[in-house]
Amino acid sequence: MDLKRFEALKEKMTSAKVLSTIMEYFLDHFGEVPGFTKLGHPTRNEIVESFLEKASLGWHQTKPLPNSFRLTEIPEYHFIHGVCMFEGGMLNVLYFDDIQTGLIVSAGNRMRQSYLMRFSVEEKPPGYELRN
């Protein structure tokens, strides 16, 4: 796999003003490449799964279906991609763990709308407390 394509995807992940261009680039340069789906290994990731659950609840008022997370990690590129299902549709995710930034796309649902969300993770400083 061409490292330059992963670097270009990572750049789009952080700078694209039109979020759909990120997923379009991924599908054009990775999703349709023979053998890409065999790269990496199945994984679990609490951060990614948490954002998928929040997106599903926020956009569709339902949690992902039990055991529907299908995430694949490609460690040499610090990249995780995959899906989870909810009643009536599916969420796709792309995530770079080295820059802690990702994209979630809702593909198909009862309302026939598409939703896209870029997300990033920040560690809380020591002693940080959430105040109401």
Note the pLDDT tens digit of each residue in 3-46.
Answer: 789 999 999 999 999 999 999 999 999 987 888 878 899 999 99
pLDDT band, residue 107 (cuts 50/70/90): confident
Residue 115 has pLDDT above 60, yes or no: yes
Give DSSP secondary structure letters for 67-101.
T--EEEEEGGGTEEEEEEEETTEEEEEEEETTTTE
Q: For the chain, what is the domain count?
A: 1
Question: Which one has a higher pLDDT value, 34 or 116?
Answer: 116
The helix (run of H) or strand (run of E) holding residue 103 is strand 101-107
Note the pLDDT tens digit of each residue in 70-85.
Answer: 999 999 999 999 999 9
For residue 24, being part of any structural domain is answered with yes
For residue 65, being part of any structural domain is answered with yes
Give residue 89's pLDDT: 86
For residue 115, being part of any structural domain is answered with yes
For residue 128, being part of any structural domain is answered with no
Residue 132 has pLDDT above 70, yes or no: no
For residue 13, being part of any structural domain is answered with yes
Note the pLDDT tens digit of each residue in 39-69.
Answer: 899 999 999 999 999 999 998 888 999 899 9
CB atoms within 10 A of CB 83: 17
Q: Could you identify the residue written with the tokens 């694949």?
A: 72
Cβ-Cβ contacts under 8 Å for 43 (sequence gap 6 or more)? 71, 72, 73, 80
- Residue 8 structural domain: 3-120
